[in-house]
Amino acid sequence: MLECKQKECWNQFLDFIKQRCSPAEFENWFRPIVLISSTDELITLEVPNIFVREYLLDNYKQEFCDFLPEKSPGEPSIEFVIAKKVVQEPTFQPQVEVDNSSAILKLKLNKLYTFENFIEGPSNQFVKSAAQGVALHPGKSYNPLFIHGGVGLGKTHLLHGIGHHILKGNKRLNIACITTEGFINDLVEHLKSKTLDKMKRFYRNLDVLLVDDIQFLQNRLNFEEEFCNTFESLIHQNKQIVITSDKPPSQLKLSERLIARMEWGLVANIAAPDLETRVAILQHKAELKGLKMPHKVAFFIAEHIYNNVRQLEGAINRLSAYCRMMQQEVTEDIAEQTLGEMFEETPKKSVTIDGILASVASMFNVKVSELRGTSREKKIAFPRQVAMYLAKEMMNDSLMKVASSFGGKTHSTVIHAWKKVSKQVETDETLRRQILMTKRNIEA
Ligand code: ADP
Ligand code: MG
């Protein structure tokens, strides 16, 4: 969390959100929020009712975390209080932008999630071109298109991209872009008000149905059946369906019938982007925010954040907020200072004795068998001690086990070697470098 005056931070958050959602969404969900109090640890917000709180937490958690205090990683530290109702005040009703057929779509599509804003690389080229194919000829290419992949890799982005593209080509098509939760809520509401027919009519008259996060349909048997019926009705009329999920169909705990339906069309995976693509994404996002980001810095960040594009975006937001506030240029040092805690540790390869011996042998130009042997000749005994030192430093094995890997030495031999090399490293620059390079080699 950046240090900034809290009220300013909140306003910055609102400015940021305003660019990310439609005016109607902003008016419905964010405008009514009242900032009650705020410290470095906790922010208290007043919202009109419990639905607003749920909606905000379901849809904007990450954005909250990027700007506001967190109680644990990914969990914003926000206390919501519900506004006391004034008697005559009408209950809070989200105002849907009314523009007949495309009303739902307008409300739900993120305007930044277009194909143009989606950076292509080897990890997502296939799925992007499938999405573009569907958007170009809805109902005529792959149906359904099923996109699956991990969190924050661009599934929702592509889904909305399809929606934008279709809408641009034909404003009259009936398109709905829903989350699976949205579908379930809709169903609950219509069941309650005994208007299920109305809902069925609505869904079954669509030309394009875009469904986000189908994994949330798992273990919801009653809802699954209705979804499956809707699905079949649309597919039989050659209406386009696109579904996203965190897993491929076969791994979802859904009925065989629905799984089989989802596998009818094209199942496409979206994977984590490679380094080059991450750099391009960072540069693109920085440009969108008007942030000057030298290639070197983008590269530096991309090297440290690699699993999730949403985190790359969070990094840009944080960096941009910091540099704007402190009126500083973006540099590697500042990136490290402000983003250090977001950086992911490079997964360590498990270190083995064989790996250590091979690397030490090649660094000191001796044979592995000599390191394992008993020769006391200095040109062999010293590298052996270095290998023992590295084994103790880099492995979690007991000293006994390490010792036995060196031709049955005792654990005190290993300790002696470790002490000797540790001491020498403090003063011997050449040895320090040799050890550093050997370590890198072992971990590479
Ligand atoms: P998912 O739905 O897979 O969890 P999102 O579609 O919400 O992920 O993507 C997370 C964020 O990362 C979004 O803001 C999106 O714009 C961005 N993003 C993901 N992939 C790309 C990409 N290839 N190019 C540009 N932005 C991307
Ligand atoms: Mg998503």
Q: Give the CATH number, domain containing residue 192.
A: 3.40.50.300
Residue 213 CA: nearest ligand 1 atom is 2
Residue 291 CA to ligand 2 centre (angstroms) = 25
Q: Is 153 in the pocket of ligand 1 (CB under 6 A)?
A: yes
373 phi, psi to nearest 5 deg: -80, -160
One domain, residues 261 and 282:
no
The pair of structure tokens assigned to 84 is 């006391």
Residue 158 CA to ligand 2 centre (angstroms) = 9
Tokens 């490079």 -> residue:
346
| 393 in Cβ contact with 419 (< 8 Å) | no
Residue 132 counted as domain residue: yes
Q: Is 118 in the pocket of ligand 1 (CB under 6 A)?
A: yes
Residue 157 CA to ligand 1 centre (angstroms) = 5
Q: What is the pLDDT of residue 24?
A: 60
Q: Is 154 in the pocket of ligand 1 (CB under 6 A)?
A: yes
One domain, residues 104 and 228:
yes
pLDDT digits (tens, 9 = 90+) for 258-314: 999 999 899 999 989 999 999 999 999 999 999 999 999 999 999 999 889 999 999
CATH of the domain at 438: 1.10.1750.10
Probe ligand 1: pick from 61, 245, 310, 317, max atoms within 8 Å of CB? 310
One domain, residues 241 and 111:
yes
Q: Is 164 in the pocket of ligand 1 (CB under 6 A)?
A: no
Nearest ligand, CA of residue 110?
A: 1
pLDDT digits (tens, 9 = 90+) for 159-169: 999 999 999 98
Nearest ligand, CA of residue 179?
A: 2
CATH of the domain at 40: 3.30.300.180
One domain, residues 200 and 111:
yes
Q: Is 159 in the pocket of ligand 1 (CB under 6 A)?
A: no
Residue 444 CA to ligand 2 centre (angstroms) = 34
Task: Single out the residue in 208, 235, 270 at which a domain terminates.
Answer: 270
Is the N-terminal amide bond of 144 cis, ω within 30° of 0?
Answer: yes
Residue 160 CA: nearest ligand 1 atom is 6
Q: Identify the CA nearest to 108 among candidates 17, 175, 32, 188.
A: 175
One domain, residues 326 and 427:
no
CA-nearest residue for atom 23, ligand 1, is 119
Probe ligand 1: pick from 157, 162, 213, max atoms within 8 Å of CB? 157
Residue 277 CA: nearest ligand 1 atom is 23
Q: What is the pLDDT of residue 249?
A: 94
Probe ligand 1: pick from 20, 63, 153, max atoms within 8 Å of CB? 153
Residue 347 counted as domain residue: no
Residue 212 CA: nearest ligand 1 atom is 2
One domain, residues 123 and 104:
yes
Instruction: Please list, in sequence order, all residues whose beta carbon lies within 8 angstroms of the beta carbon of residue 380, skipping any fewer than 6 positions away.
Output: 366, 370, 371, 373
pLDDT lower than 70: segments of the chain: 1-6, 23-25, 28, 49-51, 84-107, 345-349
Q: Is 224 in the pocket of ligand 1 (CB under 6 A)?
A: no
Residue 88 counted as domain residue: no
CATH of the domain at 322: 1.10.8.60
Residue 67 CA to ligand 2 centre (angstroms) = 20
Q: Is 155 in the pocket of ligand 1 (CB under 6 A)?
A: yes
Nearest ligand, CA of residue 113?
A: 1
Q: What is the pLDDT of residue 72?
A: 85
Residue 170 counted as domain residue: yes
Residue 370 counted as domain residue: yes
Q: What is the pLDDT of residue 350?
A: 75
Residue 166 counted as domain residue: yes
Q: What is the pLDDT of residue 349?
A: 63
For the chain, the domain total comes to: 4
Q: What is the pLDDT of residue 433?
A: 85
One domain, residues 139 and 259:
yes
Nearest ligand, CA of residue 121?
A: 1
One domain, residues 34 and 177:
no
Residue 151 CA: nearest ligand 1 atom is 4
One domain, residues 334 and 373:
no
**Angle, helices 180-192/221-236, rounded to nearest 10 degrees:** 100
Residue 105 CA to ligand 1 centre (angstroms) = 19
Residue 187 CA to ligand 1 centre (angstroms) = 28
Q: Is 313 in the pocket of ligand 1 (CB under 6 A)?
A: yes
Distance CA 277, CA 230 (A): 37
Q: Identify the CA nearest to 283 among candidates 271, 274, 292, 275.
A: 292
Residue 283 CA to ligand 1 centre (angstroms) = 14
One domain, residues 163 and 225:
yes
> With a threshold of 0.95, does the pTM exceed it?
no
Task: Single out the residue in 243, 270, 297 at which a domain terminates.
Answer: 270
Q: Which long-range contacts (CB under 8 A, 24 or more apart) does 331-337 make?
A: 331/294, 331/297, 332/296, 332/297, 332/300, 335/297, 335/300, 335/301, 336/300
Q: What is the DSSP letter of 29?
A: I
Residue 179 counted as domain residue: yes
One domain, residues 265 and 283:
no
Q: Domain containing 194: what range?
A: 100-270
| 9 in Cβ contact with 67 (< 8 Å) | yes
Distance CA 397, CA 414 (A): 12
One domain, residues 248 and 215:
yes
Q: What is the DSSP letter of 100?
A: G
Residue 91 counted as domain residue: no
Q: What is the pLDDT of residue 200?
A: 93
- Per-chain residues with Cβ under 5 A from ion ligand 2: 155-156
Q: What is the pLDDT of residue 299?
A: 93
